[in-house]
């Protein structure tokens, strides 16, 4: 029997072994980042993005929703990184923390066509300048895609010497 051959009659070339090993490493790394190794990342052009926030005991509570407008499923990845940007283009000083959600919300990694997912957020303590009261939530998905959504208003200034904080959840499918 030749090296690399199996009794089933199928032959695996010894030259393919390094390629297969590399594919397994890439797949494992993608899974660790919350990506699907078989699904292309969502592009900004694939997603309809909107924000929704309301006042909640001196904070803003809500999130950013995305809907896949493409014809194929795409990967959102894991928990997005978020910056809050004032209307003059300057990012505010912000501490971000992992957010939690109700247990009946299901985490979404791959977003099917026409489906929607939401990253829930709560923003606390903004004591900075409020240029026309408009802010932009700039999200960087773990897949590398950048998206953003605007919000009018900001949370109450509770502690002037402390920076703002923002809790951010994974993308989740909200039960209907």
Look up the pTM and report it.
0.74
| Under 8 Å between Cβ of 123 and 164 | yes
Q: Report the chain's terminal Cα–Cα distance, integer Å.
A: 58
- Contact at 8 Å (CB) between 124 and 165? yes
Decide if 39 is inside a domain: no
Is the same domain home to 80 and 15? no
pLDDT tens digits, one per residue of 58-113: 899 999 999 999 999 999 988 899 999 998 899 999 999 988 766 666 778 899 99
| Same domain, yes or no: 63 and 134 | yes
Q: Are residues 162 and 118 part of one domain?
A: yes
For tokens 């109450």, the residue is 156
20: which 2 tokens?
Answer: 């297969």
What are 145-168's pLDDT values in tens digits?
999 999 998 999 999 999 999 999
Say if residue 135 is in the same domain as residue 63.
Answer: yes
Distance CA 55, CA 40 (A): 36
With respect to residue 37, please indicate whether it lies within any of the assigned structural domains: no
Q: Which residues contact 35 (CB under 8 A, 6 or more apart)?
A: 41, 75, 77, 78, 109, 142, 143
Give a yes or no: residue 153 inside a domain.
yes
Asked whether residue 55 is assigned to any structural domain, the reply reads yes
Let me know whether 18 and 103 are in one domain: no
Give 40's Cβ-side CA count (13 Å radius).
10
Question: In terms of domains, do 18 and 58 share one?
Answer: no
Same-domain pairing of 79 and 109: yes
> Is 86 in the same domain as 153?
yes
């Amino acid at each position: 029997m030749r090296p690399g051959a199996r009794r089933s009659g199928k032959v695996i070339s010894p030259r393919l072994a390094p390629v297969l090993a590399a594919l397994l490493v890439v797949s494992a790394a993608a899974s660790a980042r919350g990506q699907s190794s078989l699904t292309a990342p969502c592009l900004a052009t694939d997603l309809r993005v909107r924000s929704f926030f309301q006042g909640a005991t001196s904070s803003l509570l809500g999130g950013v929703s995305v809907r896949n407008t493409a014809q194929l499923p795409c990967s959102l990845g894991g928990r997005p990184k978020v910056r809050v940007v004032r209307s003059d283009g300057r990012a505010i000083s912000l501490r971000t923390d992992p957010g939690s959600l109700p247990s009946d919300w299901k985490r979404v990694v791959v977003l099917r066509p026409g489906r929607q997912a939401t990253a829930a957020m709560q923003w606390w303590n903004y004591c900075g300048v409020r240029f026309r009261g408009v802010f932009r939530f700039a999200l960087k998905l773990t897949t590398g895609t950048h998206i953003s959504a605007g919000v009018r208003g900001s949370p109450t200034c509770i502690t002037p010497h402390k920076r703002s904080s923002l809790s951010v959840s994974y993308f989740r499918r909200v039960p209907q």
